[in-house]
Amino acid sequence: MIKSFLPEIKHTDSGNFFLIAGPCVVESRENVFEVAEKVIAITEKLKIPYIFKSSFKKANRTKGGSFMGIGDEKALEILAEVKAKFGVPVVTDIHESQDAAFAARYVDILQIPAFLCRQTDLLVAAANTGKVVNVKKGQFLSGEAMKFAVDKIVDAGNKKVMLTDRGNSFGYTDLVVDYRNIPAMKETGVPVIMDCTHSLQQPNQASGVSGGKPELIETIAKAAIAVGADGLFIETHPNPSIAKSDGANMLKLDYLEDLMVKLVRLRQAL
């Protein structure tokens, strides 16, 4: 199904899961291209269908002074460069209805953040661009409830929908993954993805900076494949300790290849 959405995506006949990966936010052209080149080399070697991800801006931050981006158009132009140079599809987040048509000029997939997955105007605006729409499941919703997000997009005339799980709120400062949500969302008939990094966030910390448990990324990914996830979402950075957003739960870029080798083997075994 992902091939029908994104005809340019490679290796869909390999039997592997597809991967959405990249730095959380566009920090610089150098950072984006370093990550893209490394991940593409890995996915080509292992024949994993690949979609590059980075947010052109981060609107949802705990503190008002947190980094939000380098400028909307500048960041989107960098993402368009990735697509043009490497020939891979690109996804970015949108946060307001007016972002949809603007971002759609540069990328292939518009991603709806989890906190905004019930925003009808935003979903419809994304649908109206004709681009693929990836909706992240709200931390406050069941997998079954995501059928209504799919319905909103399909009813607007766009059948190119994907859903991504990123955990459920557990108290005020932690998330847990309920793997029942993956088969529940697959009942909608759209590709289902597991966000292996954001689901390990520890939000609402007193410091105003979210924590995380990146040492469990492999565990989350293995379990997601075991229960039938079509794709995996992993944010990665050469040095998460200095990343400008979500560094506490991102995977260090140097660890990605070893993880992908293990996950491909698991997929083949299943």
* H or E, element range at 81: helix 72-86
SS3 56: coil
Distance CA 140, CA 228 (A): 22
The predicted pLDDT at position 67 comes to: 83
* C-alpha distance across the termini of the chain, in Å: 19
Question: What percentage of the chain reaches a pLDDT higher than 90?
Answer: 82
Average pLDDT, the chain: 93
Contact 231, 2 (CB under 8 A): yes
The predicted pLDDT at position 227 comes to: 97
Q: Which domains does the chain have, with CATH numbers?
A: 2-269 (3.20.20.70)
Distance CA 36, CA 150 (A): 30
Structure tokens at 95: 């946060």
The predicted pLDDT at position 210 comes to: 52
Q: Read off the pLDDT of residues 22-80 as tens digits, 9 standing for 90 and up.
A: 999 999 999 999 999 999 999 999 999 999 999 999 877 677 777 878 999 999 999 99
Question: What percentage of the chain reaches a pLDDT higher than 70?
Answer: 95
Distance CA 95, CA 128 (A): 15
